[in-house]
Structure 1
């Protein structure tokens, strides 16, 4: 009798057990499902034994150790991954940060979390990391020491650049944005803001090129289209502007940020009806109802669409929210004049969407309070923008006013703007001399390149401009005394002209210059003549009293300078276009 065999298919059901890492991983997961953490840890450790170079096994083991409350052992396992197996598994730093936080070791948690954010390119746990950041800031009672987030490369820097733009620090913002777009050419928001930065600085061609790059890659980018429309308007490209503004009129944005951008753009383009509709939407929304600038924008749109009652109501709201700016008072007074006389508001400039006093009106205020204007320029980015723009595109009188106003601000942005102005070949030499004088007052005491026509020369702003081979101490003492006396009542142009007059006097007589033994007499004469050149009321008696000398002494020294320099003629020739 033959031996019976089991069918082949039945024998095939008996399978050998494969004792590999996968087997122990499955057992560990099964144990976890049943909350058997001890068994799960044992199986994860076996998986590590079978595949010691697989970082996932180590991370799984670290995870279960953390679940069991053994945070130190968990971090030890994670350290093995980072130091010995795969340093690119940056998520391990996030796990370690969690462990340290659970151990109340917040300093170590911060260090690990910062490392994760600065090194991890994927940002898998970005939301959780931000929540942990808030916790650590609370526990440590200070801001977290974070420089950048790699998975959001450029985003942190971009936010900083936006803040700088809003503060009116355009040069600094542009430097950051240029670096961002070089690293991330697809970062459209950075390109848009870079274009605005160039525009605010008066670099129109660069602004156009930059916005063109955005719209080439994303033709429907709303911020890019709005910026382009403003640039078309500036360039006087009416055909292109007509087509683009027609497209913009048909857009009804959903996001508040887009509504605001489109509203302000349409207002600047003169599409006031569309602007009023968008601004009204924003006010109805209520999220910005404490922003005085929004009420001003809506008031301007109302004014231009003949909604005078609405404009008055809106400007009154501006006054309640921001009584110190003077903007609402200026326009409300204009409305009262219009109602009284039936004429349009016509003082200084047309009604503007910019939330600051009109440019010429600012200078009227400057005449009465330089401190107020300095504060306004420094703190209001729109005002700063108008000043930077005017320095490049204004007439000679406006540029002179801007240069003098910059002397009140005295920050890095101003210094860089004036240095750039010195390199413009077409700018008036007198204006460049004033700019150098302001730079000296700002403490710049090293040679600067100055463009004279086709030639560029290094000029030291710390020295009085003259062609003399020497500049004696007693000559400088006369200037110093005069400027000290004049500083509060004479503007920077007049102070500069005093220096120029003194340098000219000495140059014309050199080398037969007079012995300077009576510093007060020469200084008083310079102040008297400078006041006369600029048509300021002055008497010998008043000047002599300030310098502690007799009126006859002041007259004698004045006559001597006039004989050499012909000051009466200068009263007709010194920069007559800016008087």
Structure 2
């Protein structure tokens, strides 16, 4: 081959180097949209943001697709980032936010952003649409539309507080803390923010800060009902019985006139076990509020159930289901109310949280990793219900709860999942990972892709800790040890890839000559999936193996990755 003057072949001069810039990923995203491959389009839009973080158009493209797919809250987070950090002058983002909040049924928030948009862009591209949406929102709220020219907008810190409150309600406690801390520092007299901050600390398990914050509120306002309720609940949680009982006696004597305070008091007393008083207050609230939130029917039903009014409880759950036909919570409790007849004393008190029992436990586990979970009848039956009628995400939550319980009953439940022919492959991969994390011993029988496989047997058919499955478990541990600088999501992805490979190969797992070679291959595939700057040579050097061996193993993993990490 003829050499060029620079020591490169003529053929090499004809190689076109592909620029993986924001434009490249934008084009890929558009192509994926044309093919209705929305997951890929999202990934490419995210990469375009990473490649060009100062370009607000990239953020808007990503936010727009998230909104189209119904991920309004994540879309809002990105649009807020544009307004506050990237391009404050890009006022159309306020119109996009208004649309998202309207879809979330948060009409007051939507109205605020519409007014902001129209005040900044009275003749803007979306001005006509914004005015039309203002009229629609006014109709929803039962009043006349506000005039953008004369409307007084909510101060910025109040908007931040509303966002923090929404994050708190959605279980995003760390985000709520990050929003509330600067508000409290800049506005120490803003008591509502302090009360919400104390709750966020409590749900994160930071009891020291929770108590300190609520006591600051009571130093400013010793009769603040929100703070007194919070202090009673916090005291009960840490078993400061004397304080909790004293505060509960005080709270039971209160009859607030303001509906919000009445609602807070009723909910708090219900959590504290004062079901009779909670029932009376919830009933009073329902009579005062003609347009009460649907959650109220669940709270009333639980209070009624806990004081022995079982038919009344079923009636409230039925009313809730009529208002929200797709609600799993109302449907579950209404169905169970009929099955629980005659077993009421066995079941004990029901929880006031507006979740299925297993969902409440899952949330508590996400708040406090060391929380103790008791497998009572209500929890166990709700998990059985999830597997017969619940969603895929519900099943995945149940599997993780069973892994946390880590007892003989939960192990038996998990092993039964593996052998069900019609159960989802993704769920079986998660189940296999959880069983491994529990330290259960192989073999594992698993129905996968039309055949019953037996994982974890040695050549003599003995289930010992030196089985092939255990070898592959050590490879996963080695891989995770080498990926300490990766994100939690990337470390989860490598576990999914490992589980998919184990399930796919079944009893034909390759013989392992080098842990490092396979660990390198797994890590490289995750890097490739996320478009990281990671070559096979570089990863081979990290694990002290040859690039050719890594290349050979990645070819085996590639078809698995395409199935598992869609």
Give the structure-2-normalised TM-score: 0.45
Where relative contact order (Cα < 8 A, 6+ residues apart) is larger, the structure is 1
Specify the structure having the higher radius of gyration (Cα): 1
